[in-house]
Structure 1
């Protein structure tokens, strides 16, 4: 914090004392910072759009999945590039409600996708249930992915 304050005070002193030399350098620095900021925003928006095109669907399927993994996940890569990695946390909601019923513990499971998934390809698997708040049955809840993070090939 102190170093940043000293840098700003020094920059202001140089700008006031030597405006003909400091102003062009300051403008170049501002343009450079703006370009870096715009590239970061562009990459974040591109990643969010790619994650939005990933189709993640969850369904409680006790008959089709093993007893210890009753939640079926199906995923489709709707992007034009391969997905390299995908991870998420599960959220459960009672129909028509907005309160997450999954206990958010530090040791709550984090779920991962299949690794690399080619464009247009699908993947399905069975997952274990996260710990739920007492009094709710998993088969009556709506399941969604939250905190989705992923990487895609360039």
Structure 2
């Protein structure tokens, strides 16, 4: 923080003392900084669009999955590029409610997708349930994937 303040102060002093030399350099630096900022915003929006093209469905399916992993996950990659890695958090809601009933504690399971999923590919697996708040059962809630983070 102190280094940043010193840099800004010295830049202002140079700009005031030698405006003919410092102004072109400052404008070039501002243009470069703007280009880098635009590139970062573009990359972020591209990643957001790619994550929106993923179809991730979570269902409680104890009849189709083993007893220790009753959460069925179905993923479809609707992108034109392969999905390299995917992480998410599972939330549990009563139908029509907005309160997350899943306890996202440190010991909660970490959810990850397949290592690599080709463009247009599908993946299915059975995963463990997140711990629910006391008094709620997995049969009475709907599960949703939130906070998706992926690499394409």
Category of TM-score, reference length = shorter chain: over 0.9
| 1:109 is aligned to 2:112 | no
Q: Distance in 1 between matches of 2:67 and 2:147?
A: 26
Instruction: Give 1:9 deviation, angstroms.
Output: 1.0
Structure 2 gaps of 5+ residues are: none
> Which blocks of at least 5 consecutive residues in structure 1 are unaligned?
none
Aligned position for 2:98: 98
Equivalenced residues, count:
152
User: What are the within-5 Å matches in structure 2 for residues 1-154 of structure 1?
Assistant: 1-152=1-152
Distance between the aligned counterparts of 2:80 and 2:86, measured in 1? 16
SS of match in other structure, 1:6: helix
| Residue 135 of structure 1: how far off its partner (Å) | 0.7
- 3-state secondary structure, aligned to 1:98: coil
Deviation at 1:107, TM superposition (A): 2.0
Give the superposition deviation at 1:2. Answer: 1.3
| Kept after mapping to 1: 8 A contact 2:104/2:130 | no
TM-score normalised by L of structure 2: 0.97
Give the Cα–Cα distance (whole angstroms) in 1 for the partners of residues 21 and 61 of structure 2: 70
Superposition misfits of 4+ residues, deviation over 4 angstroms: none
Could you state the TM-score of these two structures normalised by the residue count of structure 1? 0.96
Query: Aligned-pair distance for 1:139?
Result: 1.3
- Superposed displacement of residue 86, structure 1: 0.5
CA distance, structure 2, for counterparts of residue 4 and residue 134 of structure 1: 49
Distance apart, 1:148 and its partner CA:
0.9
Query: Aligned-residue CA RMSD in angstroms?
Result: 0.7
